[in-house]
Structure 1
């Protein structure tokens, strides 16, 4: 008998809205509202059921924290989330460039 551990990707859609609602403590209608305005984009099954990933749940937790703890309105949350995403993309690009620079320096030596 082998012990096999299956890892679920952070982006794997696994949670139905009722589960996400319980996990975060948000009403399902609030989650749907956040989806409508583009703060989260859950996967849809062939039967049109929403399935949320761990990344979606983390995003909803962040939205909840910004709204409830910091008093930021949803328009502000949208701006923050977009800028955060852009920063992450730019950081990834910087990391790639630094890796390429190290590789090139190594070749020059």
Structure 2
């Protein structure tokens, strides 16, 4: 049975040892929002394997001369990229499902002001909210 990499199982002393850092450094990173462990009753920090890997990445970037604010921004952007990749994969599955079911696979996606993505059917218009509509032309061989 594999351990969930996001399970909060390590106390701060163990996480610090695994990340080869001082526990005070982990507390500082938590205060700065670089690595945010789970909290147990009594406000005790619990770190996951993912948190330990993230601590190692912070340490590597710091040794490469990146400031803590730069590291925070890098981690933030990496999280955004991961979320966007997940959303793209979700939309690709949706399109694949529509094709497999024989429906009209030509879809229009509207992006809202908050970055949300809405699937529209053919001929449907997005609500007037400043949304951006992405249009893809039909292939040349399609007579319709």
Query: Scaled by the length of structure 2, what TM-score is found?
Result: 0.69
Higher helix share: 1
Distance 1:79 1:44 in 2: 24
Pick from 34, 45, 50 the counterpart of residue 29 of structure 2: 34
More strand per residue: 1 or 2? 2
Residue ranges of structure 1 left out of the alignment (5+ in a row): none
Return the TM-score normalized by structure 1.
0.90
Q: CA deviation at 1:8?
A: 2.2
Which residue number corresponds to residue 81 of structure 1?
Answer: 75
The 1-side partners of 2:19 and 2:49 are apart by 12
Cα separation, 2, equivalents of 1:60 and 1:74: 12
The root-mean-square deviation of aligned C-alpha atoms, in Å, is 1.1
User: 2:10: which partner in 1?
Assistant: 15
Distance 1:74 1:96 in 2: 33
Q: Which has the higher contact order (CA 8 A, sep 6+)?
A: 1
Task: Name stretches of at least 5 consecutive residues in structure 2 with no aligned partner.
Answer: 104-144
